[in-house]
C-alpha cells in the first residue's frame, strides 16, 4: 500500500495547502503521539490480533467446514462495526453479485445476509427470502444488551424453536460476544450455543479482525489468514518513528493539520466498487472515535472531523462539484488499485463520432484509472487538499492492510487531538435514553430527565 500526499502540500496546491515547515512545527506533538502509541500498545488489544489468533482461526475454519453443508444462508445480526466490517470485507473480496450466483459458483458457500437495523420490514422480508431452518444466525454483541441485535435474536430464537424445537434450533445460532461478562455470554452458556469471543479490550469498531469479521468471512470462502497476514504487514510499516516512513501516522498528521485549518470534513473516495463499503466502515471508525466533547484533561474541545464516503467515478457526477468549487473545508482521499481483477474492453464503435470514437479499444480499467487521475488534477488545480491511497490489487492481504492502516491512523489521530479514541459517550447517551423510554430497570433518573424535557410547541410543526 502507498500513500501519496503531494497534493496536501502548499508547494502543490497553494495557500490552502500545508507548508512543509508545519511538519517541523508539530514535531513535539508528533513525538508525544508516537511515544503514546508505544506506551499504550498493551492497552490496544486490537494491535495484537494479527499475531494471537491461530487457535481461533483453526476453530473458525473447522466450524465453517462442518456447518456449510447444512445451511443455505449465513445471517449476521449486528449493528455498527459488527455489520459494516463483514459487509466491507465481503464486498471487497467476493463476487459483487455473490448471493445471486448458483451455489457451485460460490464455492459451495452459503449466501450472506447482514441484518443491522430494526426496521420491521427488514426481518419480515428476510423470512420471505430465506428458509430460516436452513440458515445459521450469527448474533454479534459484546454486551448482549444491544437493543437492536438482541431484539432480532429473540425473534429468531422463538421462530426457530417453533419450527424445529429447542434442541434442533440450537445448531442454527452462533454467538460472538465477550468471553466473560454480559447477557449474551450468559444466554449462550445457558442455551448451549456455539460461541466465539471478542477480546474484552477490543472495542466494536476495532473488531473486524476478530471473530466478528473472521467468522462471516470464513463462511463465505474468504481467506481469513490472508487478512491477518496483511494486517501484520501493515503493523510492520506502522512501526516507523519517522512519520515520513509511516503511512498511518502521516495520514493522521495531515488530517490533524487540516482540522486545525478548518478542514472539518474528510471524503474517502475509492475508485473500485469492491472498496466502496470499506469507505462506509471507515466513516464509522473515524466519526465515532474522533468526535469528542472532552479531551483527556477534561477540557471541552468538541473536536472531530465528519467523514463522507463516496465512489469514483459515480460520485464525480453527484459530489465532485461541491468538492472542487464549494467551501474549502474538505480533504479528499482517493483510493485506487494498480490492477483490477477483471478486464473489459470497449468496442471500436461509432468511430465517426469524435465524442465517442476515442473510447474504442480502451479498457474500462484504463477509463476508471484515468477518471481518478482527472479528479486528482481538478482538485489540485482548484487548490483543494487531496491525497491518494493505492494498493496493487484487491486481495485478502491488501484488504487486511487497509483495515489495519485506518485503525492505526485513527488511534494516532486521537493522540494528536488528546482525546480518548476508544469510547463513545455520545452513543451511550442515546442508548440510555432508549432504555429509559422503555422503562428498563435502573434507568429511573434518565426517565425523569426525559419526562422533564420541554414539550414541543405545535406552532412550530407544519
Catalytic residues: 288, 317, 431
| 92, 275 contact by CB (below 8 A) | yes
| 269, 332 contact by CB (below 8 A) | yes
| 385, 10 contact by CB (below 8 A) | no
Give me Rg for the CA atoms of the chain: 24
Which residues make beta-bridge pairs with 175? 139, 195
- Establish whether the linkage from the previous residue to 313 is cis, with ω within 30° of 0: yes
CA distance 117 to 139: 13
Beta strand pairing call for 386-391 and 2-4: antiparallel
CA angle 207, 397, 238 (to 5 degrees): 70
Buried b (16+ CB within 10 A) or exposed e, 14-53: eebbbeeebbeebeeebeebbebbeeeeeebbbbebbeeb
For the stretch 158-164, contacts whose Cβ atoms lie closer than 8 Å and that sit 24 or more positions apart, written own/partner, are 159/127, 159/132, 160/132, 160/133, 163/132, 163/133, 164/133
Cell numbers found for residue 12: 502543490
Chain centre distance of CA 379: 26
CA distance 328 to 315: 18
Amino acid at each position: 500500500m502507498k500513500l501519496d500526499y503531494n497534493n496536501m502540500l502548499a508547494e502543490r496546491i497553494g495557500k490552502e495547502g500545508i507548508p512543509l515547515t508545519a511538519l517541523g512545527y508539530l514535531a513535539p506533538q508528533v513525538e508525544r503521539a508516537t511515544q503514546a502509541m508505544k506506551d499504550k500498545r498493551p492497552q490496544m488489544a486490537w494491535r495484537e490480533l494479527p499475531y494471537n489468533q491461530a487457535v481461533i482461526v483453526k476453530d473458525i475454519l473447522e466450524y465453517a467446514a462442518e456447518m456449510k453443508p447444512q445451511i443455505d444462508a449465513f445471517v449476521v445480526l449486528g449493528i455498527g462495526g459488527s455489520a459494516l466490517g463483514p459487509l466491507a470485507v465481503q464486498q471487497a473480496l467476493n463476487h459483487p453479485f455473490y448471493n445471486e450466483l448458483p451455489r457451485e459458483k460460490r464455492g459451495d458457500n452459503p449466501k450472506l445476509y447482514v441484518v443491522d437495523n430494526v426496521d420491521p420490514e427488514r426481518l419480515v422480508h428476510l423470512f420471505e427470502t430465506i428458509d430460516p431452518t436452513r440458515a445459521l444466525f450469527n448474533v454479534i454483541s459484546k454486551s448482549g444488551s444491544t437493543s437492536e441485535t438482541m431484539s432480532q435474536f429473540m425473534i429468531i430464537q422463538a421462530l426457530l424453536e417453533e419450527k424445529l424445537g429447542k434442541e434442533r434450533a440450537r445448531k442454527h445460532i452462533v454467538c460472538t460476544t465477550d468471553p466473560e461478562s454480559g447477557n449474551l455470554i450468559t444466554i449462550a452458556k445457558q442455551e448451549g450455543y456455539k460461541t466465539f469471543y471478542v477480546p474484552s479490550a477490543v472495542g466494536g469498531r476495532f473488531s473486524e479482525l476478530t471473530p466478528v469479521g473472521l467468522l462471516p468471512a470464513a463462511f463465505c470462502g474468504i481467506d481469513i489468514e490472508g487478512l491477518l497476514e496483511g494486517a501484520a504487514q501493515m503493523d510492520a510499516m506502522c512501526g516507523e518513528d519517522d512519520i515520513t516512513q509511516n503511512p498511518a501516522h502521516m495520514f493522521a498528521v495531515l488530517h490533524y493539520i487540516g482540522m486545525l485549518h478548518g478542514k472539518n470534513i474528510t471524503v474517502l473516495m475509492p475508485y473500485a466498487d469492491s472498496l466502496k463499503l470499506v469507505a462506509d466502515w471507515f466513516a464509522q471508525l473515524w466519526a465515532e472515535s474522533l468526535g469528542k466533547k472532552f479531551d483527556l484533561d477534561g477540557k471541552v474541545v468538541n473536536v472531530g472531523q465528519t467523514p463522507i464516503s463516496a465512489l469514483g467515478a459515480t460520485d464525480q457526477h453527484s459530489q465532485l462539484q461541491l468538492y472542487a468549487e464549494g467551501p474549502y473545508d474538505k480533504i479528499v482521499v482517493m483510493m485506487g488499485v494498480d490492477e483490477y481483477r477483471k478486464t473489459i474492453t470497449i468496442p471500436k464503435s461509432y468511430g465517426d463520432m469524435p465524442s465517442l470514437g476515442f473510447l474504442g479499444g480502451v479498457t474500462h480499467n484504463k477509463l476508471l484509472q484515468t477518471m481518478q487521475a482527472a479528479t486528482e488534477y481538478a482538485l489540485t488545480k482548484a487548490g483543494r487538499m487531496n491525497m491518494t491511497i493505492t494498493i496493487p490489487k484487491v486481495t485478502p492481504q491488501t484488504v487486511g492492510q487497509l483495515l489495519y492502516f485506518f485503525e492505526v491512523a485513527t488511534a494516532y489521530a486521537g493522540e494528536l487531538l488528546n482525546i480518548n479514541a476508544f469510547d463513545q459517550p455520545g452513543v451511550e447517551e442515546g442508548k440510555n435514553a432508549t432504555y429509559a423510554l422503555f422503562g428498563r430497570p435502573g434507568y429511573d433518573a434518565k426517565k425523569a430527565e426525559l419526562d422533564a424535557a420541554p414539550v414541543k410547541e405545535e406552532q412550530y410543526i407544519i
